[in-house]
Structure 1
Amino acid sequence: MAEEAKEPRRDMPRAILLVTVGGGLLFILLSWAAQVPRPSTTFETADSGATEVMTTIGGNRWRSSSPRPMSPAPSGRP
C-alpha cells in the first residue's frame, strides 16, 4: 500500500496515527455510552457486564431476536 502513495514517508505514519487515534476515540465513546444507562461498576459476575448493560438499555427484547439453537441433523438411522 505504501508503494502506491505519492509521498509514503509522510502519508503512512500519518495514516497509522489517525487510525490509532480514531480507534481509541471510538473505544472511549462506546465505553461512555455503556456507562450512561448503567453507571454502576458492580455486576453479578465479571462476564455478565455486557449482558446486563444490554438488558438495561433494551429490556429482554434483544434476547428474542437471537437465533435459536439448531437441532442436531438427522443421522438417517431409525
Structure 2
Amino acid sequence: MPDEVDRHVVAAAIVAQAEGIVTFNLKDFPEDVLATWNLRAIHPDSFITDLTELDIPVVHDAVRRQRASSCRKPFHACVP
C-alpha cells in the first residue's frame, strides 16, 4: 500500500471477504494492489449510485430509517 496506515483497512476487507472498500481516498488504494486480493476501491458516490440502480426503494427505506434513528439521539438537532 502507498500509505502503510491504510493496511489495516485492506486486512479487514480480506478477513470480511468483502468485494470492495468504500472510500473517498481512492489514491491510497491502487487498483493493481487491491486486485491481488480481488478487491476494488469504490468512491462513496459511485457506491450509492450502484445501490440505487439495483433497488432504489430499498435504498430510500434505509436512508429514511437511518435519518429517523439519528433524530432520536439526545443532543442531536434533526432538521426536517
Report the TM-score when normalising by structure 1: 0.28
Structure number, greater radius of gyration: 1
**Relative contact order: is structure 1 or structure 2 higher (C-alpha 8 Å, sep ≥ 6)?**
2
TM-score (norm 2): 0.27
Higher strand share: 2
